[in-house]
Amino acid sequence: MIARLVWLSLLALGAAGQIRDQEDILRLARAKSAIARHLNNMPNYTCLETVERYEKLPQARQESLVDVLRIEVAFVEGREMFAWPGSTRFEASEIRDFIATGAFSTGGFVLHARAIFLGDGAMFTFAGPDSINGAPAWRYDYVTPQFRSGYQIRNPSKGLGAIVAYHGSIWVRQDNLDLLRILIDTNDIPPEIEIEHSRDTLDYQFLPIGSGQALLPASQEIRITDSKGRLAINRTRLTRCRQFSGESTLSFADDNAASSSAQPRKTLHFEPYTELSLALTRELNHATSAVGDEIEAMLTHDIKQGKTILAPRGALARGRILRLSRHETTHVIFNVTLEFTELIGDDFRAPLRLRFTGTVRDVSTPPELRSRRPGAYSIEAPATDPNGFLVFRSSLKLPRGFVTMWQTLK
């Protein structure tokens, strides 16, 4: 009921606070026209998106870092696509195909601005002069009712979602009417979704893409409060933005052609239930590593078929971090999920489909990878996370040489 009263008061404010004079009307029209022109001429492009995810529990004094995500995001012909950094193809148009846990938002790349400035759903009122990061600005408030909204709030754990109304503000520079910031607050979220409120703040700037400049949110912060008072905070920044020339293959206009001098490798296929012991070649650190980062591990023993060595000790397994999250209840728990997808030797490549079976301390680590620091104490995670394990420590640093055990699948 309180949320509905707030919504009604916002509608009343919109009626009472209409744009006051012709100058305000013309300024808004010029700003919307300039922003729409940039959005309509947006090239296909991709950027590396880095998301720092924090949480603040009701009893906590400050927020704590849960994890960091790195993912390649492309805007192609009006839609967003996603890929892991270093991939050769965009594999999905749904972020949940990559990020299965925690709070996440999509649409900030371009779609929020398109909905506000190219659609007919937002109703504006002039709010006066302001400043953003020291730049003199004009502020306009807006309201988008639910029946004109495309803003969806979802709770994946409940399997529920809803299109909701939203309101907020935009800020444009006073000198040239360039877009500086968009603020989005959601209204009237259905209680069964168990989210009380969300606020999305996007700070815009022109970034070089190809031979031109594109108006993009260089940074974004979204704050989501659930019905139990827990606050999730995602802070996002875009880097490495480049023009995108492919449909789904990662191909960039400024990339050089790949070298054709690489020696071909034979392809191996291991029998099901083949055991692999893999030692990390670099430290995995919660403070500096991110979900989506590529990882590498050394095979600690020969893989044989009879007396024939198929893959020698020292071959390198390549993969990716799928989960690296910190949670605090009565103690601190780190949830780690790794994936290795190929084993590379001097003259072979073996695609991998593996099941995690456990961890080993430094005793079985190859001498050249051994660390003087004690190994992390860990236990296997629940079956709902089959390639994951839990680490119970105040901080997470899996040292170079940390060994995980795996078994090939059918």
Confidence of residue 381 (pLDDT cuts 50, 70, 90): low
pLDDT score of 53 = 94
pLDDT score of 273 = 93
3-class secondary structure for 279-310? Answer: EECCCEECCCCCECCEEEEEECCCEEECCEEE
pLDDT score of 260 = 40
Mean pLDDT of the chain: 81
| Topology of the domain comprising 266-408 | Lipocalin (2.40.128)
pLDDT score of 377 = 53
Of 61-75, 147-161, 275-289, 369-383, which gets the smallest average pLDDT? 369-383
Is 50 exceeded by the pLDDT of residue 151?
Answer: yes
pLDDT score of 158 = 78
Of 210-214, 337-341, 372-376, which gets the smallest average pLDDT? 372-376
Q: With pLDDT > 90 as the criterion, what percentage of the chain qualifies?
A: 42
Query: What is the mean pLDDT of the segment spanning 158-169?
Result: 89
pLDDT score of 359 = 83
What are the angstrom distances between the C-alpha of 241 and each of 77, 204, 275? 16, 14, 41
pLDDT score of 213 = 84
Is 50 exceeded by the pLDDT of residue 224?
Answer: yes
Residue-by-residue DSSP string for 109-146: TTHHHHHHHTSS--EEEEEEEEEETTEEEEEEEEEE-G
**Among candidate residues 70, 69, 71, the one with its CA nearest the CA of residue 82:** 71
Is 60 exceeded by the pLDDT of residue 86?
Answer: yes
H/E run at residue 14: helix 2-16
Interval 387-406: pLDDT, tens? 888 887 888 889 899 999 99
CA-only gyration radius of the chain, Å: 25
Q: Where exactly are the structural domains of the chain?
A: 2-243, 266-408
Query: What is the mean pLDDT of the segment spanning 170-177?
Result: 94
